Amino acid sequence: MRQYTRSPRYDSDNQSTGGLLPEPATSRQDCMSAAMKRYKYLRRIFKFQQMDFEFALWQMWYLFVSPQKVYRNFHYRKQTKKQFARDDPAFLLLLSAWLTISSIAFAIVLRLGIIQLIKFLVYVVLVDCIGCGIIVATLFWFFGNKYLRRDCNDLQDIEWGYAFDVHLNAFFPQFVMIHIWQLFFYNGIINHEWFISRFIGNSFWLVGICYYVYITFLGYNCLPFLHKTNLILSSVPVLVLFYIISIISGWNVSHTVMEFYHNRVK
């Protein structure tokens, strides 16, 4: 009977780190390449029976109440599947479904036609969510690997897919704040020249963007091979200052963005 033994190096590493770090480099030979991971991910987009939508909904809920639990699960995935990034596109598909519902609500608020609604949906999903997400994820992936790793010679690095997942995680609460909750107040309060209008509208944007920054910080702060991740939070004071200036100057950010949305689908 064939016997299997653990490598001493593997045991010592797991004991010293609590089993949260990836396996040593010797075991990485079995890991899939980045291209293979992307192919596997995209191939499952149309295989709904293989997706765990219930777990994706659980993640969406906990991104509000306890986002640390969501990122703890990414560590478990690294231990079991040798990658931090999701291998199940259920979260992205559910997010796209929520974007579709919110786009219909936007069409009602902005009085858009069918063609304009389709254009708006394409912009929101492909440009605002996925397109901007690719840019943001690439920037964090590049600068994180170059400047935030504790040891540049360490084989552990930020997976691009994980950087994109961090964007999706951070985008969802911001989207709910700005694309759903804000709509309930837009026509009745925000779309006016009153002080309370710009205060409420700009507050939605401040909370939404700050939540995006915070969840992004949590995503990179939980990686044990990174340091100085608190630099991500340094943008919060700048956002607060910008918020105060916008209130004092009389700039209603929500009204400006709504006008932008309306003009780009004409």
Which one, of 21, 23, 22, lies nearest residue 10 by Cα?
23
Residue 226, phi then psi, degrees to nearest 5: -110, 155
Q: What is the distance between the alpha carbons of residues 126 and 264, in angstroms, rounded to a whole number?
A: 14
Q: Which two tokens stand for residue 212?
A: 């995006």
Report CA torsion sign: 21, 25, 31, 37: positive
> Residue holding tokens 């709504």?
258
Distance (Å, whole) CA 149 – CA 40: 28
Q: Per residue in 21-43, pLDDT tens?
A: 343 333 343 445 555 665 565 56
pLDDT in tens, 115-141: 999 999 999 999 999 999 999 999 999
The structure tokens 């590493």 sit at 13
- Could you list the mean pLDDT of each consecutive 10-residue stretch along the chain, which spans 266 residues? 38 39 38 57 66 91 92 80 81 93 90 92 93 96 91 78 94 93 92 94 96 96 91 96 96 93 87
Tens of pLDDT, residue by residue over 155-169, are 688 989 999 999 999
High-pLDDT (> 70) share of the chain, %: 80
d(CA 5, CA 48): 38
Q: Model confidence over 139-150: pLDDT tens digits?
A: 999 999 999 988
Answer yes or no: are the C-beta atoms of 48 and 88 closer than 8 Å. no
Q: What's at 9, amino acid-wise?
A: R
Q: Is 226 helix (H, G, I), strand (E, B) or coil?
A: strand
